[in-house]
Structure 1
Amino acid sequence: METRRRGNGGIEENTMAILDLSGFSKDNQHVNDDRIAFLEAVRSACIVPENGIPPTNKMFQAIFQILRDEKSLDLIMASYQLLDELDKRFPRVSISETEKSLELAVVKEAWSPFIFGLDVARGEREEADKKSGGSLDASAFLILIQDLAIVADETKIEAIETKFLSNMLLFQYLVSVLEGDFLPRNSVFTETMNWILLRESLLNMLLVSRRISYKGLVKDCLSVMCEICHVHDGFSHDMRCPENSSMELLKSCDTALAIALPEVEKCTCMAVQKLLLMTMELDFSKKKADTQGLTTRADGVRTPVVEIILDELTYNRDILSSFLQAFNEPKWKLKIIVQYFWKYIAKPSVRTRRSNGSTDDTTFDGLLKCFSNGNSTKNITKKIGPEVTQLLLAHGFQAFLSLSSEDSVEGISDPNEEVKGGSLVEICKYIISAFTRLRRTDEHMEILPCGKAALFTAASILSTKS
């Protein structure tokens, strides 16, 4: 280890000089050239060799500061890519297998872009930034998401600038760090039921921080997902600008930025989804730990993220379609759709503790059975509306088909059958029956394109199975 530190000495000696901009403009080309050379030197020492030298904390800090502060598109992209590669090559958290069980290996002295427990006022943030080596606390992470949501909501081309792209890449990197820390911990927790591993995860420390509004964070994530990710048939970029705006964009900002922006926005949507999915998995694991008495009062009580999403989709139906198109993880998507319907469907009056398992109303086929007669179908469409009903049924069927084509879903903690319910043939029959009931309930109702696609797919599957 000492030899590796000496090997990094030459690079680290120049780190602070590279970051010291006193007497120089941030746009100074010499400064940019020095920083590009620094990034290349780190890559040559740490990534290129088969036995690369692990970067020091100061080197990590320097690269991260370049990503946060730079205006040069080349430096932004280069620093982001280098950080991503370094994290993959030298993970902070990993799983080691022993003969008896899985064990978690944590590099405790490793640098992190997050710092928690730093209780500072907003006016003291700049000084705190220096002390933390540029790492972000929970409130800074929330502000980053809020900035993305605000700019995403802008309709003016002037809002599309380098800083927006930089913030999206910064957010993507931070989510990848959270993911690299959480997934190994959650895997070992599933094997060992050691709740402390998840309690100490970066994600959990972020969400329980008193410096952020947890519900606000989730709502801002939904705003980013639904505003940036204007999707149709997957990810197709929509600049949300008037006609012929592409030429205006090319004139008003760097051509390279205009070319890079659609892909960065796509990846940002995926990063938002990863953050929400990890939070759902954390909620699921915490519920398991709580059931077995592994949690304490110190763990607090937090509203599950699925409930917050459901409330937001219920009271802001304008984002429902965008959310269903952007959120494409089938297991949790189907759970959300089933629970959305059950907010409006009368439940049995008698329930017992033993009904906490996989009951009929938690599965997709259990939901579709509610469309088995005209009265229940009419009640559902009266409360939800025919268009929303069709939208949910179509996307639910799509998610069911995705789950049916997978033997297992990576990162999901419980079997797919707990949400799928019936067989493929049964679900296809239920879907056709549900849309038939909808049409009989309202003869003037038009079947939406997504509904027609669901009906065609269901009929095609049944024809091949007969």
Structure 2
Amino acid sequence: MSPTSQGGVGVLAGNIYSHGDKLGFRCPSRIARKKKGSKMENPSRRRVSNRGIEENTLAILDATGVKDTQDDNDDRLAFLEAVRAASIVPEHGTPPTNKMLDAIFKILQSGKSVELIMASYQLLNEIDKHFPRVYLSDVGASNSSCSTPLEVVVVQEAWSPFVPGLDIASSEREAADRKFDGPIDSSGFHLLIQNLVQVTEETNFQALGLKSIGNMLLFQYLVNVLEGDFLPRNSVYRETMNWNLLRESLLNMLLGSRRTSYKGLIKDCLFIVSTLCHVHVGFVDDVRSSENFAAKPYKDSDTAVAVALLEVEKCTCTALQRLLVMIMELDMSKKKADMEGHTTRADGVRTPLVEIILDELTYNKDILSPFLQVVFNEPKWKLEIVLQYFWKYIAKPSVRTRRSNGSTDDATLDGVLKCFSNSTSTKSIIKKISTGVAQLLLAHAFQAYLSLSSQQHPVKSLADSEEVVRGSSLVEICKSVISAFNSLRRTDE
């Protein structure tokens, strides 16, 4: 009999608590709080507890059929609730085993209902928060006088949705990629993004079914995993300059894999994020608007998919933005490591993401305004993109070596504004880019500067130097912006 036939998923979760001894779960009321000086739990006892949980929870799936009936879906939901009750709800829950996590991940990959896909997606994220694979240690946190820096702790035996090294054998990869069944490798990740390209190009709601929602949530979860692995490593790298921390990151291995085209992956990401962001803020006609949706009759299940799709698309756009920001942060850290001589030939050469973005914006100026306003509205990187866009068309004062420690005022907002201080340099700039583009870039640069100032963050150059922008007084920057616009007006009335 299906577990849910006895009262539903909620009853099953309640039974897990009330009969924890029989099922092998640790009930919240019987968990002993760890006191100071108390001995740590016996690891072998922990493994026995894990095996008991694994056997009981996976037994729920063993009875599941292959026809994806409602009872089978109920069994999967019961399994997810059982894992949540054992691992998340208790104050000191037991981490799921790799087999249990594999099963949850496969439900996310092949779920046959919105409820199943959403439940597995949420559970995986909650598990990652409770039992992170990579985290910062709190060494020295309890002793304020201790100057010991934070350290990165990597749980080597932890389960991951990515295959080790992000590469597997060709035949295995091709079979897995077609179904998105099991751990993801680098080519599978790119294939998933290519599937999202098809989703963004589709204008018919009915053609965007449950599979589209599943792929987008799968992508969002993988970005969460990449972020959880990268951010702690990058934080410690800034203090220690230990490039090995980032060399071994999932993001660096993904981008450096020979099994996928890096530039192709990036261009697909830029296409998706541009299309989705513009649709949801009204920059282009939204053919999937609520009017079109209401004009056609839908079954209840279709309605659930259509409603969920709108929100999932927005979250996918945000996930893509986070992914691109992570890549730019990695590029910046790698540039520092290269300048310090910490990289080797094995690290390879990769075109920085900002340069790829600039190429796209240079050859398609129609997307420049919506891109800066919507796609990259994060002020730090918006300012960097605008400044580098300007310096593609401004004469460089001198040639510097990659390890030069000299001044880099050129890369700052103050340096760009000075180039509009006289009519000669202003004419030189607007010959290469139009007056309208120059005004647009100056406006976005000033907006980003104000945003950073309001956050009480020092406005720094993102180039080699970490010096604060010259003339960093807000009043002086405002005067320079006014002067730049006056120069544009005089030059092109």
The residue that corresponds to 2:223 in the other structure is 175
Question: 2 CA distance for matches of 1:77 and 1:243?
Answer: 22
- The one-letter code sitting in structure 2 at the alignment partner of 1:187 is S
Q: CA shift at 1:247, angstroms? A: 1.1
Question: 1 CA distance for matches of 2:194 and 2:177?
Answer: 21
Tell me the C-alpha RMSD between the 2 structures.
3.1
Q: CA shift at 1:317, angstroms? A: 2.6
Q: CA shift at 1:335, angstroms? A: 0.8
2:425 corresponds to 1:376: yes
1:343 to 392, 397, 400: 392
| Residues 44-77 of structure 1 deviation map (CA, whole Å, 9 limit, x = unaligned) | 1111010111011111111111111113100111
Question: Which shows bigger deviation, 346-355 or 28-37?
Answer: 346-355
Cα distance change, pair 313–419 in 1 and its aligned pair in 2 (3 A): farther
Contact 1:366 1:421 in 2 (8 A): no
Cα distance change, pair 254–21 in 1 and its aligned pair in 2 (3 A): farther
Q: What is the TM-score with the length of structure 2 in the denominator?
A: 0.80
The residue that corresponds to 1:285 in the other structure is 333
2:436 corresponds to 1:390: no
Aligned length: 439
Cα distance change, pair 245–436 in 1 and its aligned pair in 2 (3 A): farther
Matched residue of 1:190: which SS?
A: helix
Q: Which ranges of structure 2 fall in alignment gaps of 5 or more residues?
A: 1-42, 141-145
The residue that corresponds to 1:437 in the other structure is 487
The residue that corresponds to 1:55 in the other structure is 96
The residue that corresponds to 1:447 in the other structure is none
Alignment of 1:409-428 (within 5 A): 418=468, 422-428=472-478
Cα distance change, pair 350–92 in 1 and its aligned pair in 2 (3 A): closer
Q: CA shift at 1:364, angstroms? A: 0.9
2:399 corresponds to 1:359: no
2:265 corresponds to 1:224: no
2:366 corresponds to 1:318: yes
Cα distance change, pair 117–67 in 1 and its aligned pair in 2 (3 A): closer
Question: 2 CA distance for matches of 1:431 and 1:197?
Answer: 41
Q: CA shift at 1:118, angstroms? A: 3.1
Contact 2:176 2:182 in 1 (8 A): no
Contact 1:15 1:62 in 2 (8 A): no
Q: CA shift at 1:205, angstroms? A: 0.8
- The one-letter code sitting in structure 1 at the alignment partner of 2:114 is L
The residue that corresponds to 1:85 in the other structure is 126
Q: CA shift at 1:332, angstroms? A: 1.6
- The one-letter code sitting in structure 1 at the alignment partner of 2:203 is T
Question: 1 CA distance for matches of 2:178 and 2:63?
Answer: 16
Q: What is the TM-score with the length of structure 1 in the denominator?
A: 0.85
Matched residue of 1:229: which SS?
A: helix
Contact 2:205 2:293 in 1 (8 A): no
| Residues 301-343 of structure 1 deviation map (CA, whole Å, 9 limit, x = unaligned) | 2121111111122123333223212212211210111001111
- The one-letter code sitting in structure 2 at the alignment partner of 1:112 is S
Contact 2:65 2:72 in 1 (8 A): no
Contact 2:361 2:368 in 1 (8 A): yes
Contact 1:189 1:195 in 2 (8 A): yes
Question: Which shows bigger deviation, 40-49 or 379-388?
Answer: 379-388
Matched residue of 2:278: which SS?
A: coil
Identity across matched positions, percent: 64
Question: 1 CA distance for matches of 2:273 and 2:173?
Answer: 31
Q: CA shift at 1:277, angstroms? A: 1.4
The residue that corresponds to 2:18 in the other structure is none
- The one-letter code sitting in structure 2 at the alignment partner of 1:211 is R
2:121 corresponds to 1:121: no
| Residues 282-310 of structure 1 deviation map (CA, whole Å, 9 limit, x = unaligned) | 12222222222222221112121111111
- The one-letter code sitting in structure 1 at the alignment partner of 2:77 is I
The residue that corresponds to 2:209 in the other structure is 161
Question: 2 CA distance for matches of 1:343 and 1:386?
Answer: 16
Contact 2:114 2:210 in 1 (8 A): yes
2:377 to 328, 332, 341: 328
Contact 1:67 1:80 in 2 (8 A): yes
1:247 to 294, 318, 324: 294
Q: Which ranges of structure 1 fall in alignment gaps of 5 or more residues?
A: 444-466
